[in-house]
Amino acid sequence: MASGVLVFGEATEDGALAPVTGELLGAAKSLGGPVTCALLGAGVEGLAQQCGPLGADKVIVVDDPLLKDYQGDAYVPIGERIARETDASVVLFGQTMVGRDMAPRLAQRLNTAVAMDCVELTMNGDRLTAGRPCYGGSARARYTFNATPQMATVRAKVFDPQPDASKQAEVVKQDAGVSADAIRAKVTGRRKEAAEGIRLEDAPVVVSGGRGLGGPEGFKEIEEMASVLGGAVGASRAVCDLGWYPVAAQVGLTGKVVTPDVYIAVGISGASQHMAGISQVKNIVAINKDPEANIFKSSRFAVVGDWKEVVAGFTEKARELKTG
């Protein structure tokens, strides 16, 4: 009889435990039953000890140079083997670049289903109900499963880690058991589109620009505003598609999920696909010339007006407040 939760944790590129791992383990703990954390990668063995205090009873580490970059053809069979061995009732991934690619493939190999990008997980006996935004965030759907394991990927920053320093996990090392020949789709190169300054995901303040800026040059003022506030710059999908700003800054369903203390949206109408990236933000501030803009419905503070004038006044005053 399947029981417990299997979590696929992740490491960051710098070799630290990715924050989503703690969130997944926190969510897993709340669902009940033993929690197993799988860590796949190169140089991840040292991270296993951190998973115990975050809620894992057992950590399965597969540390192999072959797993340095995520490649589905290597990761999916290892994931399948671990899922079958663990026989967990629930399997969780982060809605990350790895989770988006790996979870659907693993679900098919296990003849089960996965609910993607979940923001609610509740257990009723051994039945999982997974709630997730759909229609670009305009609606919420709740699913139950006709097959096991019941799988879900979880949106970043929805679930809180539940650390308990006294807890330790049993750590088990496993071989990858996959040869390089098995990798059909191969990563042959990588390039970073490095944003300067503070990372969008970590910034306490994010200032984002949208199509309302009228052109790429408008981002100068957005950058200045963000810099005065010690924040990062984001962008709507529309402006990234237009080439006004780098894709790495895109906030939304198909970009990044951000959770700053304050999110300032300038010239962004608030299409539901954008709102999906800021659904966990408590303080949304919107500056838009259209009083009917959808973004105002979710905003705590709003200014209807010409963005150039409002931003000029704001940045000047904010600089004065910050230095004064």
Partner 1 sequence: MPHIVCCVKQVPDPEAPASQFKVDEAARKVLPIPGIQPVPSQFDTIGVEAALRIKDKIADTTITILTLGPDSFRDAIKHCLAMGADEGVHINDPALNDADHWAAAEILAAAIKSLQPVDLVICGRQAVDWDMGIVGSTIAEIMDMPVVTIAKELQMDGGKVTVERVLLDGFETVESPTPCVVTVSNELGEPRYPQLRQIMQAAKKEVKTLTGADLGIAEARNRVNLEALFVPESKVETEFIEADSGKEAGEKLALRLREEKLI
Contact 266, 313 (CB under 8 A): no
Residues 19-38 that bind partner 1 (CB under 8 A): none
Q: Tokens standing for 144?
A: 């139950």
Instruction: Return the CA Rg of the chain.
Output: 21
Residues in region 155-184 near partner 1 by CB under 8 A:
184
Span of 44-52, 57-65, 143-151, 210-218 interacting with partner 1 by CB under 8 A? 143-151
Q: Between 8 and 145, whose beta carbon lies closer to partner 1?
A: 145
Name the segment binding partner 1 (CB under 8 A); options: 47-55, 59-67, 106-114, 215-223. Answer: 106-114
CA dihedral in degrees (296, 283, 252, 38; nearest 10)?
Answer: -150
Site residues for partner 1, 190-219, by CB under 8 A, read 190-195, 205
Footprint on residues 67-86 left by partner 1 (CB under 8 A): 69, 72-73
CA distance 213 to 216: 8
Query: Considering the complex, what minimum distance in angstroms separates the CB of residue 35 from partner 1?
Result: 23
Interface residue with partner 1 among 146, 166, 179, 323 (CB under 8 A) is 146
The single residue among 16, 46, 134, 197 that binds partner 1, judged by CB under 8 A, is: 134
Closest CA to 74 of 146, 181, 214: 181
List the one residue from 68, 84, 140, 173 that touches partner 1 (CB under 8 A): 140
Q: Which residue shows structure tokens 């010239």?
A: 267
Nearest CA-CA partner of 221 in 257, 267, 277: 267
Near partner 1 in 249-268, by CB under 8 A: 253-254, 256, 261-262
- Residues 265-284 vs partner 1: string with x where CB under 8 A? -----xxxx---------xx
| Nearest-approach distance from CB 250 to partner 1, in angstroms | 9
Pairing of strands 205-209, 232-235: parallel
297 contributes a contact to partner 1 by CB under 8 A: yes
Distance CA 84, CA 80 (A): 6
Total residues binding partner 1 (CB under 8 A): 92
Q: Which of 93, 145, 244, 245 binds partner 1 (CB under 8 A)?
A: 145
End-to-end CA distance of the chain: 65
